[in-house]
Amino acid sequence: MPHVDLLELPYFEGISMDDLVAFVDLMKPVTFAPGAVILKESDAGPHPLYIATHGSVVVTKNTLDGRGCRLAELESPTLFGELELFCSVPAVATVTAQSQVNAFALSKPTFEEMLSSGYPAIVRFTYNVARVASHRLAIADEMLTRVLGNKDL
- How much of the chain is in helix, strand and coil states, percent to nearest 5? 40, 25, 35
pLDDT digits (tens, 9 = 90+) for 75-95: 988 889 999 999 989 999 999
pLDDT (average), residues 46-60: 94
The pLDDT value given to residue 145: 84
pLDDT digits (tens, 9 = 90+) for 92-120: 999 999 999 999 999 999 999 999 988 88
Cβ–Cβ under 8 Å, residues 37 and 138: no
Cα–Cα dist 79/26, whole Å: 16
The CA-atom distances, in angstroms, between 122 and each of 21, 33, 114, 131 are 12, 29, 7, 14
Cα–Cα dist 39/3, whole Å: 23
